[in-house]
């Protein structure tokens, strides 16, 4: 089983998504976050299941598309690090 680590940026991203969605519906905001976390949990057993991020082309940087969101992660030997989560209409920024 592969360890999943959330980078501080990714945690901030999910919290911002929740706050944005909560302006219309707290219930739906909680559901969106719950589903993002559930999708990420599959990486514990299938770390290569995401596609290579097309803008970068690096095998070690992958993403899962979930609804309108892109969940970008770094693949390592023993772990995956969730780097960022953002709306697909936005540009990818990895600082």
Which residues span the domain enclosing 71?
Answer: 3-87
Give a yes or no: residue 95 inside a domain: no
What's the pLDDT score for residue 93? 67
What's the pLDDT score for residue 90? 75
Q: 75 has which bridge partners? A: 80
Give a yes or no: residue 93 inside a domain: no
Give a yes or no: residue 56 inside a domain: yes
Is residue 95's pLDDT more than 80? no
Q: Please answer whether residues 45 and 1 qualify as being in contact, where contact means their C-beta atoms are separated by less than 8 angstroms.
A: yes
Beta carbons within 8 Å of 26's beta carbon, 6+ residues apart: none
Q: How many domains does the chain have?
A: 1
What is the model's pTM? 0.90
Task: Quote the CA–CA distance of 88 and 2 in Å, as a whole number.
Answer: 26
Give a yes or no: residue 59 inside a domain: yes
Maximum pairwise Cα distance, the chain: 41
Q: Please answer whether residues 12 and 83 qualify as being in contact, where contact means their C-beta atoms are separated by less than 8 angstroms.
A: no
Give a yes or no: residue 63 inside a domain: yes
Calculate the dihedral angle through the C-alpha atoms of 57, 3, 85, 31, rounding to the nearest 10 degrees.
Answer: 140
pLDDT digits (tens, 9 = 90+) for 19-74: 999 999 999 999 999 999 999 999 999 999 999 998 888 899 999 999 999 999 99
23 compared with 78, residue with greater pLDDT: 23
Give a yes or no: residue 94 inside a domain: no
Structure tokens at 43: 């990486």
What's the pLDDT score for residue 65? 95
Is residue 92's pLDDT more than 80? no
What's the pLDDT score for residue 94? 63
CATH number where 82 lies: 3.30.2310.20
């Amino acid at each position: 089983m592969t360890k999943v680590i959330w980078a501080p940026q990714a945690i901030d991203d999910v919290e911002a998504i929740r706050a944005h969605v909560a302006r219309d519906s707290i219930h739906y905001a909680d559901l969106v976050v719950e589903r993002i976390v559930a999708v990420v949990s599959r990486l514990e057993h299938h770390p290569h299941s995401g596609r290579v991020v097309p803008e970068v082309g690096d095998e070690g940087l992958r993403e899962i598309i979930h609804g309108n969101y892109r969940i970008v992660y770094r693949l390592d030997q023993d772990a995956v690090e969730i780097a960022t989560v953002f709306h697909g209409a936005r540009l990818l920024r990895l600082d």
